[in-house]
Amino acid sequence: MKEKLQNLRPVLKRAIDWKLISEQYDQMIKYTTALEHGTAKAEAIMKLFTHNNLQHPTYKALQELGKVVKTIFLCGYLVSKPLRMEINQGLDVVENSNSANSFIFYGKSGEISANNLEDQELSVLCLHLLQNSLVHINTSMIQKILSSKKGDGLMEAYELRAQTP
């Protein structure tokens, strides 16, 4: 199959180890259930996997299962134009947020240049205060517009999705 898919050669290194997933399935369910029910913490399980032996079979099986999930997602991403558009729109929201941060955090080119930990913390707290203030103001303004009769049907679904803080 690698010969037919020349463009995918760099990512087609080896097949997924389904046998390992099958052999470790019960253990993977055990750990997942423990996490879900709160009887074990993720840190404790990770310590178990990395304590003496990085090649823990259940850990390797979980990595293989992660590759399966990632492959399924990527196949869906490649096939579905609406999914690609939705993801790109979400990324645009994040990029706009980062752009706004660099605008409001303008001192010293938007960089935290202080070596003093207290000064760094103060800078980040000030940025958070500015962000929260902008979110509050924007939310109040949008709420006012949308609650008025003029706001009925004013925004499309993608615009409403972008209104999250």
Domain count for the chain: 2
105 in the same domain as 69: no
96-110: b (≥16 Cβ within 10 Å) or e: eeeeeeeeebeeeee
What local confidence, expressed as pLDDT, does residue 105 receive?
77
CA gyration radius for the chain? 24
- Structural domain span for residue 17: 6-79
Q: Show the tokens assigned to 18.
A: 């389904």
In a domain, 113, yes or no: yes
75 in the same domain as 13: yes
In a domain, 134, yes or no: yes
pLDDT tens string, the chain, 165 residues long: the values are 667 878 877 777 788 999 999 999 999 999 999 999 999 998 888 888 877 656 789 999 999 999 999 999 999 999 999 999 989 888 887 788 777 777 777 665 666 777 788 888 888 888 889 888 888 888 888 878 777 766 667 777 777 666 655
Largest CA-CA distance found in the chain, in angstroms, rounded: 65
Q: Show the tokens assigned to 152.
A: 């009925």
115 in the same domain as 59: no
pTM: 0.57
107 in the same domain as 67: no
Q: Show the tokens assigned to 97.
A: 């947020």
Q: Which amino acid is at 140?
A: S
- What gap in Å lies between CA 35 and CA 48, rounded to an integer? 14
- What gap in Å lies between CA 94 and CA 88, rounded to an integer? 10
